Amino acid sequence: MRFSIKLPAFILTALLLYGCDSNQYQVVTGPDGALYRFNKKTGVLSAIMNDKKIVQPSELQKPGAAEEERGTAFDKPVSWKESKYPGKNLKAKFEMVWRENKLCYKFSVYPYKSLEKIFARKKQDYIYSLMKPGFNIELVDKDGFLVKEIKINLWSMNKIYGDDGSPKELVSNSQIDCTGQSYRSIGGYTIKWGLESEMIEDDGNDYIKSSSIKNER
């Protein structure tokens, strides 16, 4: 029994040592906490240990007051309450509408200045640019059961510019397959933030310490 338990750890250790000895591989930690191996010859980045560390809101986000009476009507968009990264100056907004068996959504994060360090590192670090920091949006029913999950890559989001010409927010505008029955059952959402907290601008007006980072398996 002991041998079977230690075997995976032994294999992982041997893999890491092989990468170091051969000088072909570089082991790096991603913004989501997962462990990756970068092949210096081929430029391929592959996951070694998918033990992600993700921060998520403590409360379930529900529709705003104007949306609660409307419910999830098919023909009218639903705007959910704003979500916030704990202890950081970073907020998100989620909107959705159902059309022809598709859940159409618009996901926004702002202000952009809070993410400038992340994008600056992307320009300077090629390996980092191959990773996929971002967000997992979980749409749940009124009892908290998962209905749909949307994964958004930070690099694929579009910049929205203000009147002064500087970026103000990032937006992802897309759609996923969804039946009418599933759409009607959606009662709230949560966000799993797959970003490095130390690279996000602190909230100067928030003196409450952010919640500890949890391991999601």
Residues 112-166 have pLDDT tens digits of 999 999 999 999 988 888 888 999 999 999 898 999 999 999 999 999 999 999 9
Q: What is the pLDDT at residue 22?
A: 55
Q: How many CA atoms lie within 13 A of 115 on its CB side?
A: 25
User: Residue 145 has which token pair?
Assistant: 């059961």
Highest mean pLDDT among 41-45, 65-69, 183-187, 193-197: 183-187
pLDDT over 70 at 189, yes or no = yes
Residues 88, 126, 40, 46, CA torsion sign? positive
Highest mean pLDDT among 98-112, 123-137, 193-207: 98-112
pLDDT over 90 at 186, yes or no = yes
- Residue identified by tokens 């998918």 is 50
pLDDT over 70 at 71, yes or no = no
Residue predicted with more confidence, 130 or 50: 130
* Cα first-last separation, the chain: 23
Q: What is the pLDDT at residue 36?
A: 60
Distance CA 103, CA 89 (A): 29
**Residue 131 identity:** M
Distance CA 58, CA 207 (A): 17
